[in-house]
Amino acid sequence: MEKSRKVCVDIVEQILTQNAYSNIVLRNVLNKSNFEDKDKSLITEIVYGTIKYKYTIDTILSSYLKNGIKGIDTYVLNILRTAIYQIRFLDKVPNFAAVNEAVEIAKKYKSVGASKLVNGVLRNYLRNLDKVYYNKGSIVEALCFNYSFDKWLVKMFIDQYGMQRSEEILKGLNEKPAVTVRVNNLKGTYDEAFKTLCEYGYNIEEGYVCPEAIIINKGKSIENNPLFREGKITVQDESAMLVAPSIGVKEGFQVLDLCSAPGGKTTHISELMNDNGMVRAFDIHENKLSLVKNNAKRLGIKNITYNKMDAAIFNKDLEDIADAVLIDVPCSGLGIIRKKPEIKYTKEIKGVKDIIKIQRDIMSNASRYVKVGGVLLYSTCTINKKENEDNIEWFLKEFPQFSIEKLYYGNMKNFIYNDNGSVTILPNKYMDGFFISRLRRIR
């Protein structure tokens, strides 16, 4: 097992020390490996778990390291982090195995001295499994430790949502995300896709809220499945699946998607239009447009054009031409932490504030492309109200030629129907945290 545990440390090192994206580096490493499926599953569990609970793990480690975690070699620190995760959160890994493997990795890849440090810290932790590492009198500290979030983020959620709902959010952001796929109506029916996935041995169920969604509970990588390769299904979170239907597109529409990559929402729009009319995909990064093209090609979609463009800079050629404009704007990404747990630690309050100006610049510019009677659809994958409801309130004051239209998706426990007509989706097992608002140009 040393090799798989060593791979876990290597991946965590890349993510936490070199700022690599967890989903990308994990996929790349596992795709190139010859590990069995059970080992790949364990590696995935340890990597995501260690990143997810980094705050908690570092709090624990700080109490057993004389100079705290800052004075320790990062690789040794990540050996300790992965070991603490296994001991504290994984019942299927015996404590002695986690300790012994960690000590051996430190000895083989660092030094004898490092192995002694790792051994001492871990055995000291095992002797104090009932120790409390936070101030019991502080609810904020308890939430930070139990759910592993920095204080600024916990305080922000409490300020915006109150104590009870904030704890639900923290719990939801720590859920292991379900894999969901969207059925492509251009290449077959929902029932056909559902039946075929069952025949391939997948444990599946109908979507949580979206009629196009199928939840994959168990089965091999969906991207290697013939249905995926043939473009009959595509992977997409159910929160993101709500965006395209919210626009209300029709065949023959001209739709602009100003922040289109990687193309999940763009292609969904085309599917809803039966590949009729025109969908114009834009992105500020030209290389990312290839992702949209590849998705569209696999799905058999032909009504999309692709152009590099900054969504915040006015393009005279697009003025007043669109039946609908989608702006899935850059955001803090706080709603997708369950899929990219490193977001917990890569974001900071200043960065969150800075991005609001970019969002408002895009909103202002996009409004000029919508024809009278057309729709501007605003969405984010964050649950920070300042990027969501506050931006909509600002926009309606600055652009009185637009009015908001209420959205409704059903009476789901994790849906908040805001007073201004927008919808906030709280994270849970099935859905990312998300925000959607539909704005109509009335004059």
Was 264 annotated as part of a binding site? yes
Q: What's the CA gap between 343 and 321, in Å, rounded?
A: 37
Was 283 annotated as part of a binding site? yes
Q: What's the CA gap between 110 and 107, in Å, rounded?
A: 6
- Asked whether 144 and 134 are in contact (CB, 8 A), the reply is yes
Was 265 annotated as part of a binding site? yes
Was 73 annotated as part of a binding site? no
CA nearest neighbour of 325 among 384, 294, 280 = 280
* Amino acid at position 130, single letter: D
Was 260 annotated as part of a binding site? yes
Was 332 annotated as part of a binding site? no
List, as one string, the DSSP characters of 298-366.
HHT--SEEEEE--TTS--GGGTT-EEEEEEE-----GGGTTT-TTHHHH--HHHHHHHHHHHHHHHHHH
Was 328 annotated as part of a binding site? yes
Q: Calculate the CA 152 to chain-centre distance.
A: 20
The answer to whether residue 381 is catalytic is yes
Was 310 annotated as part of a binding site? yes
> How many of the other CB atoms lie within 10 Å of CB of 33?
14
Instruction: Please name the residue that has the structure tokens 């490493």.
Output: 29
Was 262 annotated as part of a binding site? yes
- Asked whether 438 and 375 are in contact (CB, 8 A), the reply is yes
CA 255 vs CA 47, 266, 378: distances in Å:
40, 9, 14
Was 130 annotated as part of a binding site? no
- Asked whether 52 and 62 are in contact (CB, 8 A), the reply is no
Catalytic residue among 8, 210, 331, 381: 381
Q: Calculate the CA 114 to chain-centre distance.
A: 35
List, as one string, the DSSP characters of 228-290.
HHTTSEEE--HHHHTHHHHHT--TT-EEEETT-TT-HHHHHHHHHTTT-SEEEEEES-HHHHH
Catalytic machinery residues = 381
Binding residues for S-adenosyl-L-methionine: 259-265, 283, 310, 328
